[in-house]
Amino acid sequence: MKRIGILLAVSCLLSGCGIYNRYSRPNLEVNTDSLYRETGLLADTTTIAATPWREIFTDPHLQTLIATGLERNTDLGIARLQVEEAQAVLMNARLSYLPSVNLTPQAGISHYNGETKKTYTLGATAAWEVDIFGKVNNSRRGAAAALEQSHAYAQAVQTGLVATIAESYYTLLMLDEQLTISEQALANWDETITTLKALAEAGKANDVAVHQARANRTALNASLLTIRKSIRETENSLCALLKESSHTISRGTLGEQSFSDELSIGIPLQLLANRPDVQQAEFALAEAFYATNAARTSFYPSLTLSGTLGWTNNGGGTILNPGKWLSNAIAQLVTPLFNKGTNIANLKIAKARQQEAVLRFEQSLLNAGNEVNDALTEWQTADGRIRLDYQQTADLEAATEKTRLLMRYTSANYLEVLTAQQSLLNARLTLAQDQASKIQSVIHLYHALGGGKK
């Protein structure tokens, strides 16, 4: 009974030290219920993050690009290899429970006082560290957490890749739309210049109007060069994501794209389950937790069982031929007494790293909430701007047409015509940009909520 009481006391002491405890999420200073600002959207458990990316991005050209990127992207390939590395580390940690066995054949020859002796030993040695205080167990759990961390990192790379490819694709569509608008405006300027020349020849206008119109046309030509340059650069960056040499990207048009205006963001707590970078931060915290437990075990004894079994003709002093069996067994208990403060320092380092991991986990939650809020603000702003853009464009189209008629049949100032045309061009370009911004806000929200994993 006395021995049982001692064992129970030791077990309670070790449990209090935490070397056998499993990781559980600590109390956080971040309130997960208040990560989202008031959005006016209904908060429920439905979230677009649970929707597969093929159902979000229905453009067949974009679907092909995303599928190619998921198959060939370099960063994603590296992340998947890191998962394989972590799996190997975990396998090694699991096998640490087993004894190590080595084959140790030896042979020797010696010559002394005219006599030659030949000896041999065919043996095997085995050693096994008994995991009394959880050192091996904590290492295995830490390796398992590291594997989950690498899985989460690979998922984070994948979700980021899906969002980046989609954003680049819709940027191309916006640039295509702006190019089309600018080319149409260029044709209108040609028509305006022709009209102004005719009016100047008829004495109803002067050369100043012609020169001003030509200057505006030249500026538009310069902007066309910039747009074409942006298209080429965007295609190049997209090809790099796909691990392909630079080429023209096959794509649709901005007007063909459609997204639902009903966005479901779910509840903030779902970020813990959906955001792979948040999961990665928590698995890093779990790994640090088990590293701290392993550092604590360094203060306790370690028990190692070892033995040798073999066949030898070296019996000590006399040559035995044929040989005989050789065997021994050793139990070794090592208790740390003084190691220049190394164990204490290692424990302090492990505790500090665990606290660092807690702070990173909390910050990852805050960052996730902020990204959702920013994406929602971007979507709401773009949606409001588009309505205003349509109204402005309609008014400017009417104003441009009326000023043209007035200039042709009355003595209206040519500056009114030039100003109206330039304003209409700017309004159309802005409308295309805001339409693309609204689409990209959906991409940002989808990514911020953790979508793109499937």
Does position 30 have pLDDT exceeding 80, yes or no?
A: no
Residue 64 confidence (pLDDT): 92
The string of pLDDT tens digits covering residues 94-150 is: 777 777 778 878 777 777 777 777 777 777 887 777 777 778 788 888 888 888 888
Does position 183 have pLDDT exceeding 80, yes or no?
A: yes
CB-CB contact of 11 with 274 (8 Å): no
Pairing mode, strands 115-130 and 100-103? antiparallel
22 CA to centre of own chain = 27
Residue whose C-alpha is closest to residue 442's, from 4, 55, 26, 27: 55
State the Cα–Cα distance between residues 368 and 130, nearest whole angstrom.
Answer: 44
Residue 318 confidence (pLDDT): 43
Residue 12 confidence (pLDDT): 44
3-class secondary-structure state, position 313: strand
> φ and ψ at 154, to 5 degrees?
-60, -40
* 113-146 exposure pattern, b = at least 16 Cβ within 10 A, e = fewer: eeeeeebbbbbebeeebebebbbbbbbbbbbbbb
Residue 6 confidence (pLDDT): 44
Residue 346 confidence (pLDDT): 83
Query: Percentage of the chain with pLDDT > 70?
Result: 87
CB-CB contact of 446 with 380 (8 Å): no
At the top level of CATH, the class of 38-448 is: mainly alpha
State the Cα–Cα distance between residues 442 and 262, nearest whole angstrom.
Answer: 11
Does position 8 have pLDDT exceeding 60, yes or no?
A: no
Residue whose C-alpha is closest to residue 364's, from 274, 266, 287: 274
CB-CB contact of 89 with 143 (8 Å): yes
Does position 5 have pLDDT exceeding 90, yes or no?
A: no
Residue 231 confidence (pLDDT): 92
The string of pLDDT tens digits covering residues 294-330 is: 888 888 887 777 778 777 776 554 444 556 777 777 7
pTM of the model: 0.80
State the Cα–Cα distance between residues 154 and 81, nearest whole angstrom.
Answer: 9
pLDDT band at 369 (very low <50, low <70, confident <90, very high): confident
CB-CB contact of 42 with 210 (8 Å): no
Torsion of CA 262, 263, 269, 272, to 10 degrees: 140
Mean pLDDT score across all residues of the chain: 80
Residue 402 confidence (pLDDT): 80
The string of pLDDT tens digits covering residues 373-424 is: 888 888 888 888 989 988 988 888 888 888 777 766 665 566 777 788 888 8
Does position 233 have pLDDT exceeding 90, yes or no?
A: yes
DSSP letter assigned to residue 237? H
Higher pLDDT, 81 or 194: 81
pLDDT band at 3 (very low <50, low <70, confident <90, very high): very low
Residue 44 confidence (pLDDT): 58
